[in-house]
């Protein structure tokens, strides 16, 4: 069995229920299934697929353990239908509630719920799953929107040709395959997003008050009959409801609360643990990897969702949105064979009978088959005061990035960066060091920044920051250079170097970075020569679960993890530099782009790290400070949950091997046609607002250090008490002997 069996088992264990064999020997002949579920849109006319679904459910209601109920009517007066599967228990058993079709366009979600119904009702192999739990399933929450996406309309199109005579063409077109909302009439436009219409943080982050938008949350909470009646039926199971799953598409993610805020729910670890079990069983079937995490941190803000309302208002411990995969031209049109694999791997068993019947139920009818280059350049505007060449304040300005037209010659940016750093080294609180050489013999350079008493330099906590690990990610280099500029040249930031030592590496991969300037703008890897292709992805070359999930053994792939861990000079020397600060490193930040996210471990597994609450607390503080500047919202969470699997990265190695508790990868925003070509004004916004976040990181480190120092007197007292007690014990023993 796969994912749903894990869900079922956990719920049974929590409630300490025992299984009883009470399911009747009942089934529906395959021939009847084939006849009743085959859809012909032309024959069904207006009623279409929604009518076919009701026919199928009504046929199932003939089984002893199944009840089909109408729990209300939609705006267009269609029946809102649920199916209960119960083998007894006198309404005392825990309930699993599943729905789909909240958004009209998401046909795969309807298919998924129907497939679960079929498997629970008709496959004897799933008998144990209905013996201690009652199931309530709603295949189509929004039948009006769902039906609207399936209707066809015949129209006459007038084609006026000024040379030829008037021609008349006849077309049959789909009304609106991408329709999402309900079909209620507003003052200007039609419909409300049913999944933003629930009374939990309604009309807050991620919502839209424009009724013509797809994400319009409605004139009031529960304004739609579809949401009002669904909330009532959910509320009727309140005391027994243990698990709620709402199927959607196409983000391929398992999402728990919250959607309205970046904070984590109180029982996050239980929610995440169950999500990981589901994801692992899905991945075991065909290798499909689902993202895992809170909705806000994986997909961005979503307020007023059914999942958050069930979790927050009904206090249901396990509440999820499961986003099924995308497919087809519009992401919502999966071909029949893909539909089958999705619904099967998500929640069911892999039996031959399932394969044959599912093709009939799902694939056969319910779903049809459906300007010049940007050059990075560091421009130096410097002045010196007196003969000693001392650099004055802001007179060295890092512009970091500028547009250069085709006929202009760009600065050699690596040379310019090194010139800038060497100029800064004239300041007494700055050390510029070479910590190794790249494959193409370029210097690997770091900057140490500290001020105040030099005697305690070796005792101060270290904040280590790097960028430019991937050649194409110019904005990450600009970010580290901007941090160096702010710390070294702006008086208002000098305090940030008084209690800590900053170690900053602007360009981890100078060969790849330089190659993007003159040859291939999208080059990502190092420039070392392999047997067939050039380069290794440095951020998958560290010896922590190296060549695990998300890695590639193909040396021609952009995410090739290398022949061995630390095969690259760039990763080896960086690991040595990092390890030299091992006992003192308090924070590690590695800048990348363009995913707009702040990510903590792990990347190789969906499991949560040991210090997840502390890590997320830090990220929340940083994200809030950045958002306060211009409203930019960074996603947050584990790397695996937000971006998918990534093994052998520097962040996980620093956290797992060097035991640095605060270890993060910060993906800066995208921009431009290639997602990595931000215009100059956008670059300045990004690096400036991120420095506000860096200040917050620094403040947290200082707070942690101070908290440790405040605990020292107590530690000393305990040590003294232990010493005194040992003396007393020794005297007592001496007297005995």
Whether 379 maps to a domain, the answer reads no
What pLDDT is recorded for position 428? 85
342 & 477 share domain:
no
Whether 356 maps to a domain, the answer reads yes
Q: Whose CA is closest to 555, among 583, 569, 534?
A: 534
Confidence of residue 701 (pLDDT cuts 50, 70, 90): very high
Whether 317 maps to a domain, the answer reads yes
Q: Return d(Cα 286, Cα 535) in angstroms, integer.
A: 30
Residue 159 pLDDT exceeds 70? no
330 & 462 share domain:
no
556 & 467 share domain:
yes
Name the CA dihedral angle for 671, 676, 681, 682, rounded to a multiple of 10 degrees. 50
Residue 594 pLDDT exceeds 50? yes
Q: Return d(Cα 426, Cα 392) in angstroms, integer.
A: 11
- Packed helices 268-286 and 3-15: angle between N→C axes, nearest 10 degrees: 150
Query: What pLDDT, in 10s, does the model give residues 487-543?
Result: 988 889 989 999 899 999 999 999 999 999 888 999 999 999 999 999 999 999 999
What pLDDT is recorded for position 76? 96
573 & 450 share domain:
yes
Confidence of residue 712 (pLDDT cuts 50, 70, 90): very low
Q: How many residues does the structure list for the chain?
A: 737
In the listed set 339, 366, 393, which residue is the last one of a domain according to the structure? Answer: 366
The domain that holds 690 is classified in CATH as 3.40.630.10
Q: What is the DSSP string of 579-608?
A: HTTTTTEEEEEEEE-SS-EEEES-SS-SSP
Q: Is there a contact between 31 and 62 (Cβ–Cβ < 8 Å)?
A: no
How open is the CA angle 303-309-310, to the nearest 5 degrees?
145
Average pLDDT value over all residues in the chain:
79
278 & 190 share domain:
yes
Of residues 260 and 51, more confidence is placed in 260
Q: Is there a contact between 285 and 345 (Cβ–Cβ < 8 Å)?
A: yes
What pLDDT is recorded for position 368? 27
552 & 694 share domain:
yes
Q: Is there a contact between 205 and 301 (Cβ–Cβ < 8 Å)?
A: yes
Whether 314 maps to a domain, the answer reads yes
Distances (CA, A) of 641 to 156, 253, 645, 675: 49, 8, 8, 21
362 & 462 share domain:
no
Please give the residue range of the domain that contains residue 456: 433-604+645-710
Whether 448 maps to a domain, the answer reads yes
Q: How far is CA 331 from the centre of its chain?
A: 18
What pLDDT is recorded for position 404? 31
Residue whose tokens read 């990181």: 697
Average pLDDT over residues 578-598: 96
Instruction: Please name the residues in contact with 726: beta carbons below 8 A apart, sequence gap of 6 or more.
Output: none
Q: Whose CA is closest to 254, among 278, 287, 281?
A: 278
Whether 573 maps to a domain, the answer reads yes
Looking at 323, 489, 555, 570, which residue is catalytic? 323
Q: What is the DSSP letter of 102?
A: S
Helices (H), 178-328: 225-236, 268-286, 295-299, 306-312
Q: Whose CA is closest to 611, among 595, 630, 587, 590?
A: 587
Among 97-106, 112-121, 573-582, the least confident range: 112-121
Whether 115 maps to a domain, the answer reads yes
Provide the domain count of the chain. 2
Helices (H) and strands (E) in the chain, counts: 21, 22
The alpha-carbon radius of gyration of the chain (Å, integer) is 30
359 & 470 share domain:
no
213 & 321 share domain:
yes
What pLDDT is recorded for position 162? 34
336 & 463 share domain:
no
Distances (CA, A) of 209 to 198, 224, 294, 299: 14, 15, 24, 20
CB atoms within 10 A of CB 695: 15
Beta pairing partners, 154 = 172
Both tokens of residue 480?
A: 């580290």
Residue 160 pLDDT exceeds 50? no
301 & 225 share domain:
yes
Q: Whose CA is closest to 292, among 713, 572, 637?
A: 637
355 & 437 share domain:
no
Of residues 700 and 36, more confidence is placed in 700
Which segment, 272-276, 334-338, 655-659, is predicted with the most confidence on average?
655-659
Q: Whose CA is closest to 560, among 574, 543, 546?
A: 546
What pLDDT is recorded for position 158? 30
Helices (H), 551-675: 569-579, 612-630, 639-643, 650-656
Residue 146 pLDDT exceeds 80? yes
In the listed set 343, 366, 389, which residue is the last one of a domain according to the structure? Answer: 366
Q: Is there a contact between 647 and 540 (Cβ–Cβ < 8 Å)?
A: yes
Residue 570 pLDDT exceeds 90? yes
What pLDDT is recorded for position 616? 94
Q: Whose CA is closest to 286, among 338, 362, 335?
A: 338
Strands 79-85 and 134-138: antiparallel
Whether 60 maps to a domain, the answer reads yes
In the listed set 366, 396, 413, which residue is the last one of a domain according to the structure? Answer: 366
What pLDDT is recorded for position 427? 87
Q: What is the pTM of this model?
A: 0.69
Give me the percent of the chain exceeding a pLDDT of 70.
74
CB atoms within 10 A of CB 556: 11
Residue 390 pLDDT exceeds 50? no
What pLDDT is recorded for position 614? 94
Instruction: Please name the residues in contact with 542: beta carbons below 8 A apart, sequence gap of 6 or more.
Output: 565, 566, 571, 575, 648, 649, 650, 652, 653
Residue 393 pLDDT exceeds 50? no
Q: Return d(Cα 548, Cα 554) in angstroms, integer.
A: 13
HEC string of 452-516 equals CCHHHHHHCCEEEEECCCCCCCHHHHHHHHHHHHHHHHCHHHHHHHCCCEEEEECCCCHHHHHHH
Q: What is the DSSP letter of 365?
A: I
Query: What pLDDT, in 10s, does the model give residues 651-698?
Result: 999 999 999 999 999 999 988 767 888 887 788 899 999 999 999 999
Average pLDDT over residues 167-180: 57
Instruction: Please name the residues in contact with 32: beta carbons below 8 A apart, sequence gap of 6 or more.
Output: 59
Among 120-124, 221-225, 374-378, the least confident range: 374-378
Question: Which H helix or E strand runs over 374?
Answer: strand 374-376
Residue 444 pLDDT exceeds 90? yes
Which segment, 15-19, 166-170, 276-280, 537-541, is predicted with the most confidence on average?
537-541
Both tokens of residue 204?
A: 């807050």
323 is catalytic: yes
């Amino acid at each position: 069995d796969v994912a749903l069996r894990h869900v079922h088992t956990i719920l049974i264990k929590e409630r300490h229920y025992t299984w009883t064999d009470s399911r009747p020997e009942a089934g529906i002949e395959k021939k009847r299934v084939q006849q009743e579920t085959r859809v012909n849109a032309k024959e069904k006319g207006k009623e279409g697929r929604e009518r076919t679904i009701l026919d199928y459910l009504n046929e199932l209601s003939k089984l002893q353990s199944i009840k089909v109920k109408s729990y209300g009517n939609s705006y267009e007066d269609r029946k809102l239908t649920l199916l209960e599967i119960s083998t007894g228990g006198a309404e005392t058993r825990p309930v699993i509630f599943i729905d789909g079709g909240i958004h009209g366009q998401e046909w795969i979600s309807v298919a998924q719920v129907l497939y679960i119904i079929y498997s629970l009702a008709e496959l004897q192999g799933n008998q144990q799953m209905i013996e201690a739990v009652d199931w309530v399933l709603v295949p189509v929450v929004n039948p009006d929107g769902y039906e609207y996406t399936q209707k066809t309309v015949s129209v006459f199109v007038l084609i006026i040709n000024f040379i030829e005579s008037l021609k008349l063409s006849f077309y049959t077109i789909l009304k609106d395959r991408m329709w999402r909302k309900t079909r209620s009439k507003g003052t200007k436009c039609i419909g409300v997003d049913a999944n933003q219409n629930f009374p939990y943080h309604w009309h807050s982050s991620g919502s839209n008050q424009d009724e013509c938008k797809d994400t319009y949350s409605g004139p009031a909470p529960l304004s739609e009959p579809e949401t009002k009646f669904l909330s009532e039926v959910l509320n009727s199971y309140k005391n027994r409801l243990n698990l709620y799953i709402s199927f959607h598409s196409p983000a391929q993610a398992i999402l728990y609360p919250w959607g309205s805020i970046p904070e984590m729910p109180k029982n996050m670890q239980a929610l995440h643990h169950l999500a990981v079990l589901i994801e692992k069983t899905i991945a075991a079937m065909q290798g499909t990897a689902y993202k895992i995490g809170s909705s806000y941190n994986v997909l961005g803000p979503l307020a007023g969702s059914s999942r958050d309302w069930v979790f927050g208002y009904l206090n249901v411990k396990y509440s999820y949105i499961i986003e099924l995969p995308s497919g087809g031209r519009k992401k919502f049109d999966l071909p029949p064979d893909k539909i089958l694999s999705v619904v099967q791997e998500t929640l069911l068993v892999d039996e031959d009978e399932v394969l044959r019947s599912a093709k009939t139920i799902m694939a056969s009818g319910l779903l049809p088959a459906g300007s010049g280059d940007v050059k990075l350049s560091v421009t130096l505007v410097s002045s010196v005061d007196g003969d000693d060449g001392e650099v004055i304040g802001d007179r060295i300005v890092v512009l970091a990035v500028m547009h250069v037209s085709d006929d202009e010659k760009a600065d050699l940016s690596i040379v310019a960066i090194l010139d800038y750093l060497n100029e800064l080294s004239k300041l007494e609180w700055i050390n510029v060091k070479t910590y190794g050489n790249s494959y193409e013999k370029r210097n690997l350079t770091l900057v140490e920044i500290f001020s105040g008493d030099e005697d305690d330099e070796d005792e101060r906590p270290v904040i280590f920051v790097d960028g430019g690990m991937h050649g194409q990610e110019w904005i990450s280099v600009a970010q580290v250079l901007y941090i160096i500029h702010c710390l070294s040249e702006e008086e208002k930031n000098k305090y940030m170097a008084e209690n800590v030592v900053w170690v900053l590496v602007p360009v981890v991969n100078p060969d790849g970075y330089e190659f993007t300037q003159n040859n291939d703008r999208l080059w990502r890897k190092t420039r070392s020569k392999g047997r067939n292709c050039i380069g290794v992805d440095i951020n998958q070359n560290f010896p922590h679960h190296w060549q695990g999930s998300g890695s590639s053994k193909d040396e021609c792939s952009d995410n090739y993890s290398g022949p061995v861990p630390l095969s690259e000079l760039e990763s080896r020397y960086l690991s040595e530099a990092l390890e030299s600060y091992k006992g003192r490193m308090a924070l590690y930040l590695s800048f990348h782009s363009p995913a707009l996210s702040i990510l903590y471990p792990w990347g190789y597994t969906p499991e949560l790290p040991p210090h997840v609450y502390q890590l997320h607390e830090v990220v929340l503080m940083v994200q809030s400070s950045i958002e306060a500047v211009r409203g930019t919202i960074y996603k947050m969470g584990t790397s695996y949950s937000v971006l998918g699997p990534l093994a052998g990265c520097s962040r996980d190695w620093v956290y797992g091997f060097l035991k640095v508790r605060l270890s993060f990868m910060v993906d800066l925003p995208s921009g431009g046609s290639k997602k990595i070509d931000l215009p100059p004004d956008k670059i300045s916004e990004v690096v400036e607002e991120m420095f506000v976040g860096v200040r917050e990181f620094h403040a947290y480190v200082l707070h942690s250090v101070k908290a440790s120092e405040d605990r020292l007197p107590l530690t000393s007292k305990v040590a003294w008490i232990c010493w005194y007690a040992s003396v007393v014990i020794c005297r007592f023993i001496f007297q005995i002997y």
